[in-house]
Structure 1
Amino acid sequence: MTPHHAEDAPDTGQLVGRARDLAALLSRLATARLVCLTGLPGVGRTRLAREAVGQSRREVVWESGAGYEPEMLPGVGARLRHRFAGARGPLLVLDDWDHLGGAGTALVASLLLDLPELTVLVVAERPCHLRGETVMVLRPLAGPVPGEEDADRPSEAIELLRAVLGDAAVARDPRGAARLCRRFGGVPGPLLEAARAWAAAGGDADGVGPGERQRAAAARSYARCSRVERLLWRRLAVFEDGFQREAAPEVCGGGPLPAAEVPAVLDRIAPHALIQDPHSGRYHLPPAQLAVAQEELELSGERWAAVLAHRRWALGVARQAAEWWTAGRQDEAAALARRELPGLRAAMDPATSPLSPRAEAATALDVVVHLWFLWTACGHTAEGRTLLRRALAEHQAPPPARALWLAARLELDLGAPERADPLLTTAWAAAVRAGDDHCLGLLAGLRGAVALWQGRAEAAAVELRTALELIGEGDAPDFGPGPAQIRAALALALVRTDPEAALEAAQPGPAHPGAARDDWAEAWTRYARAEVLRWADDPASAQALARSALRTFLAYGSRIGARCAGELLADATALRGDGPLAARLLGAVDAFHESQVPHSPYLAPVRRRAESLLDGLLPPARRAEAYAHGARTGLAGLLARENPAGPDANPEISWRPEPWAGVGNGSSSWTG
């Protein structure tokens, strides 16, 4: 008995990661008369069935459907009835049975009716849909956890690569091996075919495409689908980097496939056409299935409509994320934007428009602008500038004031205030023409931020107070930073010249009904309060607040915020006499920052203070060693190793006015 498995995973000599699946299959064969083992092409159905058969004590007959046509099945049925006549508990395995269609299903039904002792195991992509059938979908092997690109972490897919390619091949590029496992979804056949090509070429794992064998298998699978199943499959090609279930009806519904029917059709094709990530729940088409979908979408003439539907969906996602950020659901907003960022990137690139770049430039610009918080607060600043510049270059109408505000803000965040100034001038004129008072307030706030960056604290305070008047402290912002963030910036402008006024500015202002907590603004107010406390002879409380702000900035991915809070935390730590930790913090700050943003005059004094304190705490060799240790560990690692106790652990310090009394306005100590 030699099973046929033309589309199955190569035989590795061992069944990697399938112990539970094998036990489940044996259990089903012991309790059901008809078992259908389904799954993606190459997932290992035949390999698992063969292992189960090898452990069975029953009489087994294995029939491969590869050599049969539907008209040949009556003769096959007669032969099998004769073979099993009088047999006790035989097992019939029908492998590669999909292409026989209804004739193959009819044969299974008649055999079960005529032979009451018979158990049938059908190995196919799809179930038979017969009464009493037990369906087992063989899932792909578990791959590395997303975000942990390290092949040393145990996973079933990595173990398969080690078993077939050897430890040395995986060790040469563990991150590449991990990316390969995620891209091919742990489906053994395609994964091993791609891994062998990757190992032989020694190239980039991301550049390895599906092999011809897998593409042919995917094409056969596509051809066996119904009309609406093929329609959904090819429309899913617009989700090149995966999608959440709820996105499919909005993007893929329409015409012969109403949106309300998409979930049911998705469920039908998912077991043999899609991979679902167990961590996020996202679906994606494996490379071979994606290639087939893209070809069919182009041939059908539907590509332009599908891409436009995807762009409208992307704009809706950006608007939803922006609303959540404004409503105080900032963690959810950042998570949504990052989760869908691969798909959003296509919508933000006018060059990918199926009509012309200029035709979709307005949509691209709208998506970029709605995601302002992702670029300015969540660490994607350089990418945001690139996408915004590209959209503006194709935008035929005069640029909207809010787009120009974002352009200026990104230039400032990347350390180029001189490039922000002309943009602010143009944006101000555009906002006046549009009668957009809210944008005028944002522009005043940004002028204040530019002045603050340049070390002109008094000018910054004037602009920021103007911004608060224009924005209105009790109003819910419809775009951009809200009043709480403007107040936090005002506190930063005052902190070194008038600490009592800074603390007053850092207090919550008037709020509109139902106003949500602004975690981002609160992080900056904690930073401002920490600097006041550092100079009010309370470095322990300053540490607690700087640490809390740092955690928030790291959670969002803000490089500027992490630099500010990290250096202030190092300064307060050095003031308390802990030179090694202060030096490690400075090393981690520089490693995190990667010299992408130059020091501004506003930021320089804190760093100078910390460095000056370290001069008296550590000799050069120990200081260099601690600095290097911090760079290796990183800010997140250093915070994870700390175990703060007492007041240091509490970011909400009780504010007492006494420690700040007598701190002179304009004292030279505030500027280092």
Structure 2
Amino acid sequence: MPPLSGSPLPGTPSSSAHGVAAQGSHRPGPPGNLPDGPTRFIGRGRELDALAAQVERARLVTVTGVGGVGKTRVALRLATALQDRFCDGAWLAELSSLADPALLDHTVAEALGLTDHTDRPPRAWLLEQLAERRMLLVLDGCEQVTEGCAALVQALLRRAPGLRVLAVSRRPLGVAGEQVFPLSPLSGPESAELFEDRAGSAWAGAGETERATADELCRRLDGIPLALELAAARLGALSVAQVLERLDDRFRLLAGGAPGPLPRHQTLRTAIGWTHELCTPAERLLWARLTVFAGLFDLEAAEYVCSGPELPAESLLDVLAELVARSVVVREDTALGPRYRLLDPARMYGTGWLDALADGERMRRRHRDWYMGLVTWCELDWFSPRQAEVAARIEAELPNLRLALDYSLEEKGEAHIGQYLAGTLWFHWTGCGRLAEGRYWLERALEAEADNEETRLKALWVLGHVAVLQGDPARAVGALAECRETAVRGGHTRALAYAEHRAGLLALVSDDLPRAEELLRSALGRYQQVGELNSDVLTAQAELAAAVAFQGDPAGAVALCEEVREVCAEHGERRSLAGALYVLGLAAWSDGDTVRARALLQECLAVGHAFHDLAGALLAVELLALVTVEEAADVTPGGGVEEAAVLQGAAGRLRRSVGLPLSGSRHFDAPRALCERRLRELLGARRYEECAREGARLDLAAVVARLGHVPERPAAVPGARGPVRPPETREPAASPATGAGETTG
């Protein structure tokens, strides 16, 4: 790494602090999501120093240049070198696969690991979350949504004084104060070094003649890294002299026989076109068909979408491997296994060939059909031990799922498929903390004209659920009422069960407990009638347990929750377990068993964190704070009571991102209110506020880490020994004891 000149960036202290998101909180150093480079980084010492100097002077720097010149590699190299200067780290948001500008805010927030469950516009909470952060944000591929990027960056820089943006785009954003850094091709020596490095074993034993020829080849390719990599990939099949001769022939043809260099963008296109000419017919066909994918894809998807009589599925891996060898496709090893990506310049070139083949419409439909099948399978697999894998798979496939949704909702006669996709992804929207984007697609799907009652009903109850979780009761009531009326009229028992279930949840958080119990029992009866057993059914039972507990039947609540735990254990279900764990933890606390309560609530918190369930995590943290008060007796600095106040502050931060109206519920809000009252009495208002402010700097990952590892699963009990009443009516079992960490029960 070349030295980076200049003093530390203004406003970027090197001390470590809380991270922006979960990804960075479990590793040393500043948080971030910067990827490792797939190949060795070569040269660019002067450019890196000059770019670093610009980043020190300006809060927005845009790296521009022709395709294939290495803009992304240089920006990421610099960001990696600078990340220690930002206490909130350096983060990458990839925008190259983004086709819908309306999803720009969602994409950036997702890259930062930020989750919001309110019904606020994504831009509003994105600005709020970054307002006090000191971080470097790399926006790659801005030319896809230039106007949207410009507006977003302008708003971010105005609201977040500690933020710096390093944009990567083929053209400037046009924002006031923007510094543009045009990236030139590699110098002669750097070009030669890159060419030799990428040629690998094919360059072994090269003599002076070959090196001189390679120097001329690098000059003809104008030092453009991607062009050099494409040429280097031909060595072995051709000598360096043959590569140069064939490129020269193509250059002369394009230039009309006139001497002189081609424009740089034409140089790259020439190198890509020459590579395309050298491909076999099968390789050219696969190249064209792969352009329908966005971002990464796996072999199975490529085999389904791109195969056919002229490209059998059993031969596709070999053809794909050749495109990887030719540096047209990049292979990346991920947690989900090997995945592939078509380079952007190669995608642009291949798209023209797909259009020339008049096969684009068929390929886009096959692409949509593959991802419709994937979503269908993942919905079924969600209720299994593979739940975490399903969550990771859908997260990784989101760019392609967006394409599938967009195609279905824009193509005539396909809107019902769009409704099906948006509804079937309920487990991702509500189960993995993607409420805002789910709301976007569900609203779009329901606005589209589709003559299919079942797909509309599913989209309606999912939208109703999303709206409940976002704290938008008006939209929830409207969607669920339409779903119920249509389901009754058409005899759709399953849809009616889901509509009643979500209406029961809304009644529960609104403290209409008799109505909640009535609706949830009715929904569970209908689920049983149609043979439904899945995560939703278990969630409904846990919600019924809460309604029963709050109405003074602790034994009934515990019995319902223990049954949920048994079924969850049998099926490997985790996401729906959180609600049952919370009610069991509340019952244990009410019974004075703080040891058991802590174990249950820590497990509940771990599930909430894993699946971005902010509401579940919030309830667990608030009740854990109350448990901590009752366990502690030490009010000295750093003691257990102060730790409870820190947890209260962390919960307050979480509440700003939770849409579910828990704070308006007398029962759900009671632990927080009781804990705050006790802490103010024990610590005094001033010290309580100081500790709460400390906690407000902790994100959810930091809270989970602070509370330690999840304990062993507590054993089942036949029932709580005392009533589960709203905590503000329950007096402490005893006064604080003398030893920190001792229980009161």
* TM-score, normalised with respect to structure 1: 0.68
Greater RCO (Cα-Cα under 8 Å, separation 6 or more): 2
Secondary structure at the aligned position of 1:270 is classed as: helix
Alignment of 1:210-225 (within 5 A): 212=265, 213-225=267-279
Aligned to 1:649: 711
Aligned to 2:729: 669
**Against the structure 1 CA distance between its residues 580 and 599, is the aligned structure 2 distance closer, same or farther, given a 3 Å change threshold?**
farther
Q: Residue type matched to 1:150 in 2? A: G
Aligned to 1:633: 698
**Against the structure 1 CA distance between its residues 513 and 630, is the aligned structure 2 distance closer, same or farther, given a 3 Å change threshold?**
closer
Partners of 2:708 and 2:2 lie apart in 1 by 49
Of 288, 299, 306, which residue of structure 2 is paired with 1:234? Answer: 288
Aligned to 2:167: 205
Alignment of 1:259-408 (within 5 A): 259-271=313-325, 272-280=327-335, 281-350=338-407, 353=410, 356=411, 358-397=412-451, 399=453, 400-408=456-464
Residues 632-665 of structure 1, C-alpha deviation per residue, up to 9 Å, x if partnerless?
3322223223446xxx8223244264xx434376
Residues 403-422 of structure 1, C-alpha deviation per residue, up to 9 Å, x if partnerless?
21111111101001222112
Aligned to 1:117: none
| Structure with bigger gyration radius | 1
Residues 304-363 of structure 1, C-alpha deviation per residue, up to 9 Å, x if partnerless?
11111110011011011101013453212212211111110111124774xx3x433222
Aligned to 1:248: 302
Partners of 1:502 and 1:255 lie apart in 2 by 60
Alignment of 1:390-469 (within 5 A): 390-397=444-451, 399=453, 400-469=456-525
Q: Residue type matched to 2:509 in 1? A: W
**Against the structure 1 CA distance between its residues 311 and 670, is the aligned structure 2 distance closer, same or farther, given a 3 Å change threshold?**
farther
Alpha carbons 1:237, 1:293 under 8 Å: kept:
yes
Alpha carbons 1:476, 1:512 under 8 Å: kept:
no
User: How far apart are residue 167 of structure 1 and its match?
Assistant: 5.6
Alignment of 1:566-645 (within 5 A): 566-577=621-632, 578-597=640-659, 599-600=661-662, 601-602=664-665, 603-643=668-708
Aligned to 1:98: none
**Against the structure 1 CA distance between its residues 336 and 620, is the aligned structure 2 distance closer, same or farther, given a 3 Å change threshold?**
same
Of 579, 601, 619, which residue of structure 2 is paired with 1:564? Answer: 619
**Against the structure 1 CA distance between its residues 276 and 296, is the aligned structure 2 distance closer, same or farther, given a 3 Å change threshold?**
same
Partners of 1:260 and 1:359 lie apart in 2 by 33
Secondary structure at the aligned position of 1:551 is classed as: helix
Which segments of 5 or more consecutive residues in structure 1 lack a partner in the other structure?
1-11, 15-145
**Against the structure 1 CA distance between its residues 490 and 188, is the aligned structure 2 distance closer, same or farther, given a 3 Å change threshold?**
same
Partners of 2:397 and 2:382 lie apart in 1 by 15
Secondary structure at the aligned position of 1:475 is classed as: coil
Partners of 1:666 and 1:633 lie apart in 2 by 28
Partners of 1:306 and 1:579 lie apart in 2 by 62
Secondary structure at the aligned position of 1:520 is classed as: coil
Q: Provide the identity percentage.
A: 26
Alignment of 1:54-133 (within 5 A): none
Partners of 2:331 and 2:569 lie apart in 1 by 38
**Against the structure 1 CA distance between its residues 543 and 151, is the aligned structure 2 distance closer, same or farther, given a 3 Å change threshold?**
closer
Q: Residue type matched to 1:651 in 2? A: R
Secondary structure at the aligned position of 1:349 is classed as: helix
Q: Residue type matched to 1:401 in 2? A: L
Alpha carbons 2:582, 2:600 under 8 Å: kept:
yes
Partners of 1:450 and 1:378 lie apart in 2 by 20
Q: Residue type matched to 1:583 in 2? A: A
Residues 96-154 of structure 1, C-alpha deviation per residue, up to 9 Å, x if partnerless?
xxxxxxxxxxxxxxxxxxxxxxxxxxxxxxxxxxxxxxxxxxxxxxxxxx966738898
User: How far apart are residue 434 of structure 1 and its match?
Assistant: 3.8
Q: Residue type matched to 1:207 in 2? A: S
User: How far apart are residue 476 of structure 1 and its match?
Assistant: 4.4
Partners of 2:339 and 2:432 lie apart in 1 by 22
**Against the structure 1 CA distance between its residues 512 and 617, is the aligned structure 2 distance closer, same or farther, given a 3 Å change threshold?**
closer
Of 550, 556, 561, which residue of structure 1 is paired with 2:605? Answer: 550
Decide which moves more: 584-593 or 401-410. Answer: 584-593
Alpha carbons 2:520, 2:540 under 8 Å: kept:
yes
Partners of 2:515 and 2:168 lie apart in 1 by 50
**Against the structure 1 CA distance between its residues 288 and 154, is the aligned structure 2 distance closer, same or farther, given a 3 Å change threshold?**
closer
Alpha carbons 2:37, 2:73 under 8 Å: kept:
no
User: How far apart are residue 394 of structure 1 and its match?
Assistant: 1.4
Q: Residue type matched to 2:680 in 1? A: D
Partners of 1:289 and 1:396 lie apart in 2 by 37
Alpha carbons 2:646, 2:691 under 8 Å: kept:
yes
User: How far apart are residue 386 of structure 1 and its match?
Assistant: 0.5
Residues 274-294 of structure 1, C-alpha deviation per residue, up to 9 Å, x if partnerless?
112233421111222222122
- Across the aligned residues of Structure 1 and Structure 2, the Cα RMSD in angstroms comes to 4.0
Partners of 1:572 and 1:539 lie apart in 2 by 6
User: How far apart are residue 247 of structure 1 and its match?
Assistant: 1.0
User: How far apart are residue 470 of structure 1 and its match?
Assistant: 1.0
Q: Residue type matched to 2:391 in 1? A: A
User: How far apart are residue 389 of structure 1 and its match?
Assistant: 0.8
Alpha carbons 1:417, 1:450 under 8 Å: kept:
yes
Of 542, 547, 550, which residue of structure 2 is paired with 1:496? Answer: 550
Partners of 1:666 and 1:308 lie apart in 2 by 54
**Against the structure 1 CA distance between its residues 229 and 457, is the aligned structure 2 distance closer, same or farther, given a 3 Å change threshold?**
same
Secondary structure at the aligned position of 2:696 is classed as: helix
User: How far apart are residue 539 of structure 1 and its match?
Assistant: 2.2
Alpha carbons 1:543, 1:572 under 8 Å: kept:
yes
**Against the structure 1 CA distance between its residues 406 and 170, is the aligned structure 2 distance closer, same or farther, given a 3 Å change threshold?**
farther
Instruction: State the number of aligned residues.
Output: 515
Alpha carbons 1:474, 1:510 under 8 Å: kept:
no
Residues 179-208 of structure 1, C-alpha deviation per residue, up to 9 Å, x if partnerless?
99xxx99x9687349989999x99753534
Q: Residue type matched to 1:236 in 2? A: L
Partners of 1:667 and 1:506 lie apart in 2 by 19
